[in-house]
């Protein structure tokens, strides 16, 4: 049997003190953990309350603004209330008041805002027999550039097109603006002529309305997809064809290099 020397035996007073210190440390850690847990739960409750208030606000607004038919904008990352107000040429206070927002610095990504004075279009730009109306200003849908950009990306995916090509042509044509009709009758973002839209509808067996943003983008992307296939992805010819027509490019060549070069430059700068 080995007997330890006195030097290696623990000091008896320390043996009595150590458990008390350990107990105090444990109690302190327990209090800290409880505090952190309480703060976490409080934060979660505040977040749920904010989301609940936001959902209630949207429900109330939807009911209150049905009669007003106000335009709607969905908040994206980086948006501020003042920027949105500036874009729609209204004051921040008017926008906040229309949406029952008490703190103008507290808005949420995905939140829908009522834009007072921007009425949603209820008229149709296409008749029951498929004819597209000319200069039907009352049928024009309202849009904003972030919304158009997002929908252009989705349209490019659906129609198997390079996204930058569709973005660039849409910008060249209208600056991503749906609520505009050109002097020659070109409609909206993709600046579709009524007879061009009717020809595309006939080709795909549908009745898409170019005065509606979604219909406009699908019509323009369909035409661009046809050009892409017919010219086997030859970019200058595809771009030129959208502006002067595929038949003209095929039989006469490219005569609108200024347009083509602008679009190709935009493809490098837009995202």
Would you state the pLDDT for residue 55?
47
Question: How is residue 219 written in tokens?
Answer: 């019509």
Q: Is the pLDDT of residue 262 over 90?
A: yes
DSSP secondary structure code for residue 184 in this structure: T
160 or 117, higher pLDDT? 160
List all residues 6 or more positions away from 136 whose beta carbon is below 8 Å from its beta carbon. 123, 125, 211
Which helix (H) or strand (E) element contains residue 19?
A: helix 12-64
CA distance 81 to 106: 9
Would you state the pLDDT for residue 165?
97
Would you state the pLDDT for residue 189?
95
CA distance 256 to 234: 15
Q: Torsions phi, psi of 65, nearest 5?
A: -100, 5
Q: What is the mean pLDDT of residues 145-150?
A: 88
Give the SS3 label for residue 140.
coil
DSSP secondary structure code for residue 232 in this structure: T
CB of 240 within 8 A of CB of 167? no
Query: What mean pLDDT value characterizes the chain?
Result: 80
Question: How is residue 236 written in tokens?
Answer: 């200058």
Would you state the pLDDT for residue 147?
85
Residues comprising the chain, all counted = 271
In this prediction, residue 184 has a pLDDT band, given cuts at 50, 70 and 90, of: very high
Would you state the pLDDT for residue 49?
52
Q: What is the mean pLDDT of residues 102-107?
A: 88
Q: pLDDT by residue (tens digit) across 6-59?
A: 444 444 444 444 555 555 665 666 665 676 666 666 666 655 554 454 444 444
DSSP secondary structure code for residue 192 in this structure: B
All domains of the chain in start order, with CATH: 43-119 (3.10.350.10), 137-269 (1.10.530.10)
Would you state the pLDDT for residue 243?
95
Would you state the pLDDT for residue 38?
66
Q: Is 195 left (phi over 0), alpha (psi -120 to 50) or beta?
A: alpha
CA distance 173 to 190: 6
215 or 84, higher pLDDT? 215
CA distance 40 to 248: 67
Q: Is the pLDDT of residue 170 over 70?
A: yes
* Predicted TM-score of the model (pTM): 0.59
DSSP secondary structure code for residue 183 in this structure: T
147 or 255, higher pLDDT? 255
In this prediction, residue 159 has a pLDDT band, given cuts at 50, 70 and 90, of: very high
CA distance 241 to 237: 6
Question: How is residue 80 written in tokens?
Answer: 């501020």
Percentage of residues in the chain having pLDDT higher than 90:
46
């Amino acid at each position: 049997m080995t007997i330890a020397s006195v030097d290696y035996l623990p000091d008896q007073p320390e043996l009595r003190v150590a458990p008390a210190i350990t107990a105090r440390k444990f109690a302190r850690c327990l209090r800290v953990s409880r505090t952190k847990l309480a703060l976490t739960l409080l934060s979660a409750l505040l977040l749920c309350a904010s989301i609940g208030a936001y959902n209630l606000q949207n429900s109330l607004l939807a009911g209150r603004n049905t009669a007003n038919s106000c335009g709607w904008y969905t908040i994206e990352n980086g948006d501020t209330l003042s920027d949105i107000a500036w874009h729609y040429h209204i004051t921040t206070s008017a926008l906040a008041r229309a949406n029952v927002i008490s703190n103008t610095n507290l808005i949420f990504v995905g939140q829908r805002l009522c834009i007072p004075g921007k009425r949603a279009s209820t008229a149709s730009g296409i008749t029951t027999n498929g004819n597209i109306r000319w200069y039907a200003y009352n049928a024009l849908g309202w849009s904003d550039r972030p919304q158009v950009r997002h929908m252009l990306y989705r349209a490019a995916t659906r129609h198997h097109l390079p996204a930058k090509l569709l973005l660039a042509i849409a910008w060249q044509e209208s600056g991503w603006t749906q609520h505009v009709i050109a002097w020659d009758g070109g409609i909206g973002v993709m600046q579709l002529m009524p007879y061009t839209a009717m020809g595309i509808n006939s080709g795909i067996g549908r009745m898409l309305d170019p005065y509606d943003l979604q219909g406009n983008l699908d019509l323009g992307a369909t035409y661009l997809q046809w050009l892409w296939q017919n010219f086997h992805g030859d970019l200058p010819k595809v771009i030129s064809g959208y502006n002067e027509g595929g038949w003209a490019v095929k039989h006469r060549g490219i005569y609108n290099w200024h347009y083509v070069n602008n679009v190709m430059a935009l493809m490098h700068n837009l995202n």
